[in-house]
């Protein structure tokens, strides 16, 4: 049986990788991932919940998990000699892995390019020699990578093809009334994000709730989080009298985001998913001091949230670092609720920029199939 190494170290990457693997029946997929890849039939050598980290000084006690995952993937690749590798986002880990795989004769397809347009563009020169093909998820990325000689193809964004409930069905699934305004609280998919953002987000919601007669909320819990973080979320949300909802590993939060009018969310894929679902995003983010210093020195864009980057303007509020306080978040949340009709138009523009109707997982599977003894693509 033809084997495929898959490495996805984040919740959104896990879902994207799983959708590709599900379209390649009969292929022996193994590697690093989470519950979505496991459900799709991949053999996991390591769980992303033990290896997810971000930035200088952000990993803390998870460094050991990352090292164990690296060793497990490296050993399995040497022993099983896969015909190809599907590397999904997780730029630091995969950026080190790709050259080693290429040197061993493994064909490499990278799905979800490193965000070189935001910071560290020098990575392009190093990676171009290790990547056979690249499936990019933003339309402006294809010419960037082609300019340095990478066989890059825009396939569409994974958030566009996941199952999505309509507004009434999503509200019923979440136990929300059909009438009240609703706020999604999305504090992140990494433990350090959640612990820095959840409390100010909940306090901001409480301030708005105390001023308005009819507004409800749910905390959406990422499936990539470890049990300790999930328990902490449950206890914290209970103290603020806000119910929690576990996002489906295969679909992610985007499946139910249509239930909400506004989303308080961490910067990253969640902000894009919220915009696609017409839950106007209010974006917050906090990192440690060392990461902040590095970001200030290296960041090349004025905006950090993906919807604003796609639009080329600050359509949605971003509150970063010391600005991500409860009082500022509350004002931004109230403003977004009041201006929702205007913001929904910006959300529609975001989806239009991505190009609705694409099936990225099918496109990526077709890019891999010739390397896998002509594997059939469902």
The C-alpha atoms of residue 18 and residue 32 are separated, in whole angstroms, by 11
Mean pLDDT of 221-245: 94
How confident is the model over 316-332, as pLDDT tens digits?
A: 999 988 899 999 999 99
The pLDDT value recorded for residue 56 is 36
Q: 151 and 236, same structural domain?
A: no
Task: List the single range of 51-60, 69-78, 345-354 with lowest mean pLDDT.
Answer: 51-60
Above 80 in pLDDT, residue 202?
yes
Mean pLDDT of 98-117: 90
Above 60 in pLDDT, residue 197?
yes
Q: 259 and 151, same structural domain?
A: no
Q: 350 and 225, same structural domain?
A: yes
- Pairing between strand 181-186 and 152-154? unpaired
89 in any annotated domain = yes
Above 50 in pLDDT, residue 296?
no
The pLDDT value recorded for residue 1 is 65
3-state secondary structure the chain: CCEEEEEECCHHHHHHHHHHHHCCCCCEEEEEECHHHHHCCCEEEEEHHHCCCCCCCCCHHHHHHHHHHHHHHHHHHHHHCCCEEEEECCHHHHHHHHHHHHHCCCEEEEECCCCCCCCCCCHHHHHHCCCCEEEECCCCHHHHHHHCCCCEEECCCHHHCCCCCCHHHHHHHHCCCCCCEEEEEECCCCHHHHHHHHHHHHHHHHHHHHHCCCEEEEEEECCCCCHHHHHHHHHHHHHCCCCEEECECCCEHHHCHHHCCEEEEECCHHHHHHHHCCCEEEEEECCCHHHHHHHHHHCCCCCCCHHHHHHCCCCCCEEEHHHCCHHHHHHHHHHHHHCHHHHHHHHHHHHHHHCCCCCHHHHHHHHHHHHCCCCCCC
289 in any annotated domain = yes
Q: 136: which strand partners?
A: 154
How confident is the model over 2-53, as pLDDT tens digits?
A: 899 999 988 889 999 999 999 999 999 999 998 899 999 999 997 766 655 4
376 in any annotated domain = no
> Percent of the chain at pLDDT above 90?
65
Q: 342 and 245, same structural domain?
A: yes
Q: 281 and 192, same structural domain?
A: yes
Task: List the single range of 57-71, 105-119, 194-208, 362-376 with lowest mean pLDDT.
Answer: 57-71
Q: 115 and 129, same structural domain?
A: yes
Above 60 in pLDDT, residue 76?
yes
Above 90 in pLDDT, residue 150?
yes
Please give the residue that has the higher pLDDT: either 326 or 71: 326
* Residue 97 φ/ψ, nearest 5 degrees: -75, -40
The pLDDT value recorded for residue 287 is 56
129 in any annotated domain = yes
Q: 340 and 290, same structural domain?
A: yes
Q: 349 and 232, same structural domain?
A: yes
Q: Please tell me which of 291-300, 316-325, 342-351, 365-374 the model is most confident about, judged by mean pLDDT.
A: 342-351
Q: 182 and 45, same structural domain?
A: no
Above 60 in pLDDT, residue 299?
no
Mean pLDDT of 140-154: 92
186 in any annotated domain = yes
Q: 304 and 331, same structural domain?
A: yes
Q: Tokens for 240? A: 């603020």
Q: 205 and 137, same structural domain?
A: no
Q: 280: which strand partners?
A: 262
How confident is the model over 163-185, as pLDDT tens digits?
A: 889 999 999 999 998 889 999 99
CB-hemisphere CA count at 13 Å for 46?
27
Q: 45 and 140, same structural domain?
A: yes
116 in any annotated domain = yes
Number of domains in the chain: 2
Displacement of CA 355 from its chain's centroid (Å): 18
302 in any annotated domain = yes
Mean pLDDT of 281-296: 61
CATH number for the domain including 130? Answer: 3.40.50.2000
Q: How high does pLDDT run on average in the chain?
A: 88
Which residues form the domain of 137?
3-160+358-371
The pLDDT value recorded for residue 25 is 94
The pLDDT value recorded for residue 59 is 46
Residues 6+ apart with CB under 8 A from 332: 204, 282, 317, 319
The pLDDT value recorded for residue 62 is 54
The pLDDT value recorded for residue 256 is 95
212 in any annotated domain = yes
């Amino acid at each position: 049986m033809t084997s495929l190494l898959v490495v996805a170290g984040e919740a959104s990457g896990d879902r994207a990788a799983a959708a590709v693997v599900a379209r390649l029946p009969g292929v022996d997929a193994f590697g690093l991932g989470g519950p979505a890849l496991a459900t799709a039939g991949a053999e996991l050598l390591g769980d992303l919940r033990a290896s997810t980290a971000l930035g200088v000084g952000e990993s803390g006690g998870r460094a050991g998990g990352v090292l164990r995952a690296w060793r497990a993937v490296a050993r399995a690749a040497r022993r099983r000699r896969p015909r190809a590798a599907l590397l999904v986002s997780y730029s630091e880990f995969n950026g080190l892995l790709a050259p080693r795989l290429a040197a061993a004769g493994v064909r490499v397809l990278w799905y979800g390019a490193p965000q070189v347009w935001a910071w560290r563009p020098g990575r392009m020169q190093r990676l171009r020699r290790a990547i056979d093909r690249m499936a990019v998820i933003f339309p402006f990325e294809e010419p960037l990578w082609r300019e340095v000689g990478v066989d890059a193809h825009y396939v569409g964004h994974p958030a566009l093809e996941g199952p999505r409930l309509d507004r009434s069905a999503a509200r019923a699934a979440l136990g929300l009334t059909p009438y009240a305004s609703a706020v999604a609280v999305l504090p992140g998919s990494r433990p350090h994000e959640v612990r820095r953002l959840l409390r100010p987000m909940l306090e901001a919601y409480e301030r708005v709730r105390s001023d308005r007669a009819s507004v409800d909320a749910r905390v959406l819990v990422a499936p990539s989080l470890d049990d300790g973080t999930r328990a902490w979320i449950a206890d914290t949300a209970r103290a603020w009298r806000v119910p929690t909802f576990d996002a489906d590993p295969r679909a992610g939060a985007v499946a139910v985001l249509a239930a909400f009018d506004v989303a308080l969310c961490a910067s990253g894929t969640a902000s894009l998913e919220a915009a696609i679902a017409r839950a106007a995003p209010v974006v917050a983010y906090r990192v440690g001091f060392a990461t902040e210093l590095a970001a200030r020195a290296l960041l090349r864009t004025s905006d950090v949230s993906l919807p604003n980057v796609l639009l080329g303007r600050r359509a949605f509020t971003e509150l970063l670092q010391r600005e991500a306080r409860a009082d500022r978040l509350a004002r931004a949340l109230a403003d977004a609720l009041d201006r929702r009709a205007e913001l929904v138009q910006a959300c529609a523009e975001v989806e239009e920029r991505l190009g609705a109707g694409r099936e990225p997982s099918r496109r990526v599977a077709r890019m891999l199939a010739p390397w896998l003894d002509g594997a059939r693509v469902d």
